[in-house]
Amino acid sequence: MGLNILAVDDSRTMRDMVRLTLASVGMNVTVAEDGVHGLELLEGSLPDAIISDINMPRLDGFGFIRAVRGIDRLRAVPILVLTTESAPELRARARDAGATGWIVKPFDPRKLVHTVQLVTG
């Protein structure tokens, strides 16, 4: 498939799970440990999709998504939120920030792959 994905999560275990899941179907996954690190990695790249947690140190998912949407060349990149949170008001806040979709942890690997394929379609 060859898609380039940026996964942003403060949990090393979660970063590894996302990377292994997507790499198993041929996607290239770059990982960042929080929103600040994610923005640093985006300076020189244009991923096909971004997956971001919400609750992270330094820069949370909402701030990260808003920052990404403020960069012209990244405006159309799909952003999926992958989080333990499921409250409707948080989903609405993520959508307002510019998120494309929402996946609740723990995630089903097949669903994650399918959703990434769907939004990059």
CATH number of residue 78's parent domain: 3.40.50.2300
- pLDDT of 1 reads 53
- Domain range enclosing 103: 4-120
Domain count across the chain: 1
Q: Whole-model pTM?
A: 0.96
What does the pLDDT look like over 57-96, one tens digit per residue?
A: 999 999 999 999 999 999 999 999 999 988 999 999 999 9
User: What is the 3-class SS of 9-74, one letter each residue?
Assistant: CCCHHHHHHHHHHHHCCCCEEEEECCHHHHHHHHCCCCCCEEEECCCCCCCCHHHHHHHHHCCHHH
Amino acid 78 reads P
